[in-house]
Amino acid sequence: MVDQSQNFFALAIGFVSLLDLMVVVGLWLSYTTAGREYLKVACFAGLFEILRHGIDFITGTSNDSITWYLLGQVFQFGSTLLFVAALLLIYETVTRFYYWAFAVLGIGMIVIFVLQMLSDAPVAGGSGYLESSPLIALSFVLLWRAIKTGDQLTPGKLFLVLASASVALIRSTLPALELNDIYLLLYYMEYLSFTLLLVAMVLYELEFAKQQIGDLLAEKTQSEQDLQFIVDNSLDVILVADQVGLLQSWSAKAREIFGYSHEQAVGKIHMDDLFVSNFWGQDMGEDDEVQAKMESIDGKSFLVDVRMREVSEAGGTYHLFVLRLVEEPKINTTLSET
């Protein structure tokens, strides 16, 4: 019966450890892609938890159980501490306050461990709260940080808070129980609760990345709108062409002078279609200014001073033309006589 119980214990620990390892691999892949420090710290928290599982199994089979029991407590405390640090690193840094708080809890655990080693037996029954008080306190710090992480109640944050609450409640309940089936059930649930914490971190990272992409797109859209506003309110006529000379953007004044609609012009008109004589491909320096004759959609021609600048952005090269009217558009007399 004892062998069967140990086999079940080994199977349960192996299964949960495998789940933890799979999630840790996912977190590490996310870290190598995104480079966010809190993902790396969460990976180490998962590795500490996996090591704790192995130590717990040795505790159940070793004659020197007190040493392995205390070592398992150290790794359980360490995995929780690292996960709290990971939550802190999402939006802020680990400040001096947290260093002091972690140090006090760690020193408290060391003192309790020394007392246990001297008594040569783990604390049992209700007095187990003294032994577990640093870990329980740290578990509620974990819950508090999960609640404080992020401003919006997203599915990832809800999952994170529920998993943290499960860890804190189970750890605060276990010291009051005798070693029976209910104790073992809660003990295994505590294993799974930490696994859910790691899964919640993966889900939160996906939401965090999505939010950052959305913010970048919104910022880019706003920047483009601001730039278009500046271009549209410029006193000069501004044209933007790609590498082959197709018009990609122009100012409101350009639309007014040339008479083409946005649908008619952007991406469809070549720069040479706007000049009376072929202009595209002329060798112009960025500081050069030349005069050229241009023509609108209704045949009106006008003289302009042209300056060109080449701009590279996002792997593409664009030609920015700044035109200043020398004379107002007038009807081409040759065309009108024809």
Residue 3: its H or E element: helix 2-34
Cβ-Cβ contacts under 8 Å for 9 (sequence gap 6 or more): 57, 60
Distance, in Å, from the CA atom of 220 to the CA atom of 222, rounded to the nearest integer, reads 5
pLDDT reported for residue 126? 40
Distance, in Å, from the CA atom of 274 to the CA atom of 266, rounded to the nearest integer, reads 13
pLDDT reported for residue 281? 63
User: Could you say which residues of the chain have pLDDT below 70?
Assistant: 1-6, 62-65, 92-94, 116-127, 220-228, 230-235, 281-288, 313-315, 327-338
**CA angle (170, 173, 178) in 5-degree steps:** 120
pLDDT reported for residue 284? 62
Q: Which residues of 57-66 are buried (b: 16+ CB within 10 A; e: fewer)?
A: bebeeeeeeb
Domains of the chain: 2-218 (1.20.1070), 234-337 (3.30.450.20)
pLDDT reported for residue 337? 41
Which residues sit opposite 320 in a β-bridge? 240, 309
For residue range 284-323, list pLDDT tens digits in order: 665 567 788 888 888 788 888 888 888 776 667 788 888 8
Q: With contact defined as beta carbons under 8 Å apart, do 247 and 270 qualify?
A: yes
Q: With contact defined as beta carbons under 8 Å apart, do 172 and 139 qualify?
A: yes
